[in-house]
């Protein structure tokens, strides 16, 4: 896998010892979009850390994903301020309209739906971040707009 080799060399550049593990995994995920098992085994070998420990770290932190993600990332803030302003309804609506399964992917595989705990944009609550773009003061009606916009984007790219 040439891609994997290139990603590994970016991720491991200048990395030494066990203390480098978290930043290495962050860079690797930045390159590949997720952390495939063979890549984790390579990281373990090259950093001289037992694979069990690498997998332990990769599964402990919520930032890391061992499965590929959708093309678009929709993150719903479930922080307290968003919660009291109706975030659970927004999440439920998004999940229903996008037909999101157990794996967090929409049925068409285009969208990953994630829950986050506070983005610190409480004044915008309930807030949803779509590929880095903030959608503030969400309502169930705005969810319908958002889903339509995502589907349009999906069509444009297909």
Partner 1 sequence: MRLRGPEELAELRERVGRGPPLTVAVCGGTGCRAFGAEAVLSTLRREIDRAGLSGDIGVKMTGCHGFCERGPIVVVRPQGLFYPGLKPEHVPRLVESLRRDRLMEELLYVDPVSGRRIAREEEVPFYQGQQRVVLAANGHLDPTSIQDYIATGGYAALAKALQMPPEEVIEEIKRSGLRGRGGAGFPTGRKWEFCRAAPGQKKYVICNADEGDPGAYMDRSVLEGNPHSVIEGMLIGAYAIGADEGYVYVRAEYPLAVKHLRTAITQAEELGLLGENILGSGFSFRLHVFEGAGAFVCGEETALLASIEGRRGQPRPRPPFPAQKGLWGRPTNINNVETWANVPHIIARGADWFRSLGTEGSPGTKIFSLTGKVRNTGLVEVPMGITLREIIFGIGGGPPEGKAFKAVQIGGPSGGCLPEELLDLPVDYESLTGAGAMMGSGGMVVLDEDACMVDMARFFLEFTQAESCGQCPPCRLGTKRMLEILTRITEGRGREGDLEVLEELGWGVKEASLCALGGTAPNPVLSTLRYFRAEYQAHLEGRCPARACRALITYRIDEEICVGCGACAKVCPQGAISGEPGQPHRITVELCIRCGACLAACPKGAIRVA
Task: Indicate which single residue of 37, 92, 101, 149 sits in contact with partner 1 (rule: CB under 8 A).
Answer: 92
Name which position in 34, 139, 148, 152 contacts partner 1 (CB under 8 A): 139
Q: Is 22 exposed, middle or buried (0-12, 13-18, 19+ CB in 10 A)?
A: middle
Residue 93 touches partner 1, criterion: CB under 8 A? yes
Distance of alpha carbon 23 from alpha carbon 18, whole angstroms: 10
The dihedrals phi and psi of 73, each to the nearest 5 degrees, come to -115, 120
The span from the CA of 64 to the CA of 57, in Å, is: 9
Are the C-beta atoms of 69 and 112 separated by less than 8 Å? yes
Query: Contact between 62 and partner 1 (CB under 8 A)?
Result: yes
Residue 54 CB, shortest distance to partner 1, in Å, is 9
Q: Which of residues 32-61 bind partner 1 (CB under 8 A)?
A: 49, 53, 56-57, 60-61
Using the rule CB under 8 A, which residue among 10, 73, 110, 122 binds partner 1?
Answer: 122
Distance CA 81, CA 72 (A): 25
Q: Which residues of the shown chain bind partner 1 in the complex (CB under 8 A)?
A: 17-23, 25-26, 49, 53, 56-57, 60-64, 78-81, 83-86, 89, 92-93, 96-97, 116-125, 127, 134, 136, 139-141, 144
């Amino acid at each position: 896998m040439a891609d994997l080799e290139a990603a590994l060399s970016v991720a491991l550049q200048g990395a030494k010892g066990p203390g480098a593990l978290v930043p290495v995994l962050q860079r690797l995920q930045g390159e590949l979009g997720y952390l495939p098992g063979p890549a984790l085994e390579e990281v373990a070998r090259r950093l001289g850390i037992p694979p069990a420990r690498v997998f332990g770290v990769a599964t402990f932190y919520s930032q890391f994903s061992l499965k590929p993600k959708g093309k678009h990332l929709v993150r719903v803030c479930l922080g307290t301020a968003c919660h009291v302003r109706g975030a659970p309804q927004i999440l439920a609506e998004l999940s229903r309209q996008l037909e999101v399964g157990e794996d967090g992917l929409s049925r068409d595989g285009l969208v990953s739906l994630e829950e986050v705990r506070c983005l610190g944009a409480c004044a915008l609550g309930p807030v949803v971040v779509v590929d880095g773009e903030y959608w503030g003061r969400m309502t169930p009606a705005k969810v319908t707009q958002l889903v339509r916009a995502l589907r349009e984007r999906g069509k444009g790219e297909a």
